[in-house]
Amino acid sequence: MLRLEFLFTLAQALDDALVKAPPMGYNSWNHFGCTLNQEELLKTAASLKDLGFLELGYRYFVLDDCWMAKTRGVTLEADSNAFPSGIKDFGQKLHEMNFLFGIYTCRGVSTCEGRPSSRDHEEADAKAFAEWEVDFVKNDACWDPDCGPEQPTVPGSGICDIEGRRKAVLRYQRMKDAMNRTGRPMVHSLAGWQPWFAVVGSQLAHMWRVGADVKDWDGVYEATRIMEQLREYHGAQGWNDPDMLLGSSRGATLKLTPLQSRAQFSLWALMPAPLMLGANVLELSPYDALTYSNLEAIEINQDPLVTPAEVVYHNCPPYPRFVMGQRADGAPEFELHTNGVQDPGVVCGAHTAPNCPACCQGHGEGWCHGECEWLGERGNGNPDDDQNCVLSEKAKKKPAAENNPNPWQRKDLKESSMHQCQQVWVRRLTNGQVALVAVNFASKAATVDLPLSQLRLPWGDETPSILWDVWHVAKAPEQVHGHLKLALEANGGHYMLKLEQKSTQEDLPAKDFKEVSLRASLQMPSDPLVNGSVQGTGTMTEFVMGGFLPITNDGTGPMVIDGCFGGCLGQVVVEFRRRKR
């Protein structure tokens, strides 16, 4: 295997200064799916700007699949029903709001939703993107006959061996080169869904997906197990992408609980990973608004040191170890070491089992599905004879895990029963501080007793540290005899901390605080999504929520709000100004 030391003699990494920090923005897929609508999308962009997200750095507004018509001409063309004024006009409207305009295409014979792709039309489409003043191109991987799902009309499809990986790299290289020839700077974002793209990612793009879509809490967990292994391929010349952020606001197709969405954001901010919002912005809850606008978390994500975070503590089950390199012809090499890792077993419908007989154990033939099949006619055998459930002929031909053409995931290892555990991630920052995120993936509350020596603090573990709690929760973690005790709620309980050497900490005068505005619609205090407290007498109300403190114009104290709560109907809109060192 050609080791990675030779990688940069084969192809030079992109170095165009477009992504010195992880890109931040919004993607339409989790909310809109394949039902894009120009008017609603522009409302979404306006809402992002009104809420202050553009000011905070969420610059890219990216259209996902289905923006294009169902047939193409010389270039991809906009769906006239979704974009009656045309795609260039839509992009101009985004530019007028000071957003950067992102668009979607695919390396396969069609997009994931069956729309036309750019395969074999890279040159023409790249020129069109440049003419439309596109700033960001998401390049997906669906329906690639060389490295993708099986296609009945394409012999040999349904596998992604090393030759398929080489061809996938060449496809992305063609689009990258075509984009470069236009002369317009455009971020190239690969959605290849495989860890091995980390090896070649910086040669082809500015960010690259490394696993399956994150659709739920199980997916968040698996994304962390992948990302923890890819630190050496992560930095200012390109970013491993664990997928979009899932909000908790109503109306989106995919979402998490409020606690889980904030835990995901904390992890992604620390890694640091691209921060692409996927929530329903038009119905964004106050909780999500405060999560995604936390300036301290964003500053950690955008810290210019760009040192990747590392896992310093976890008690999770073993996960396959990736061994990767690159051949002289550019093909990514990918091996899995599975010592101590649970055997993946078989997929039998909606669940997994160690083997086919175990699929239907105690349930009968009705549970013999997926990669398993029932011997003989159903209904004629003994329903308790589990040995009648055997591996199907198709499953016997399934490619090895290294050559699997589908998005990388281990369904058996990301099930809830397999992540009853906690993780602690740590990252050094430019100013000498250390940032830490601890997350509880388990369904029960837990306390992590972490020796400070495991954090490898630059000032050592003997000197006491100042803890800055990014989320300003009610109970700060304790430092006891060189240990950090982190009490974590169930199903997403987390801390995001900054540690600083105590002897260097000085109080800063109020004039040294930065201020960033956030405008949020607040529901009644009884709304379970509101994080924090609402207290007041008469019309004097103080809000301290999610790290945001409304302050008076002179910066001396809480803002006075004229209004009432509990006895009033509707919402109250409050202007927040975040005080930040």
Measured CA to CA, the distance from residue 220 to residue 27 in angstroms comes to 18
Please give, one letter per residue, the 3-state secondary structure of 214-271. Answer: CCCHHHHHHHHHHHCCCHHHCECCEEEECCCECCCCCCCCCCCCHHHHHHHHHHHHHC
Q: Which residues are paired to 487 by β-bridges?
A: 447
Residue 6: count other Cβ atoms within 10 Å of its Cβ: 12
Out of 65, 144, 213, 412, pick the active-site residue.
Answer: 213
Residue 6 CB-half CA count within 13 A = 13
Q: What is the DSSP letter of 417?
A: G
Q: How many helices (H) and strands (E) does the chain have?
A: 15, 26
- 554 is known as an active-site residue: no
Out of 64, 65, 125, 140, pick the active-site residue.
Answer: 140
* Element of type H or E holding 24: strand 24-27
Whether 243 and 256 have beta carbons less than 8 Å apart is answered as no
- Encoded tokens for 121: 């039309």
Per DSSP, the three-state class of 428 is strand
Measured CA to CA, the distance from residue 310 to residue 445 in angstroms comes to 23
Measured CA to CA, the distance from residue 146 to residue 161 in angstroms comes to 9
Closest CA to 405 of 175, 168, 200: 168
Which residue is listed with tokens 């040999």? Answer: 156
Q: Which residues are paired to 374 by β-bridges?
A: 389
Q: Which residues contact 480 (CB under 8 A, 6 or more apart)?
A: none
Closest CA to 61 of 296, 281, 301: 281
Sign of the CA dihedral with 150 first, then 156, 162, and 164 last: negative
Q: Which residues are paired to 439 by β-bridges?
A: 423, 494
- 89 is known as an active-site residue: no
Q: What is the DSSP letter of 309?
A: P
Catalytic residues: 140, 213
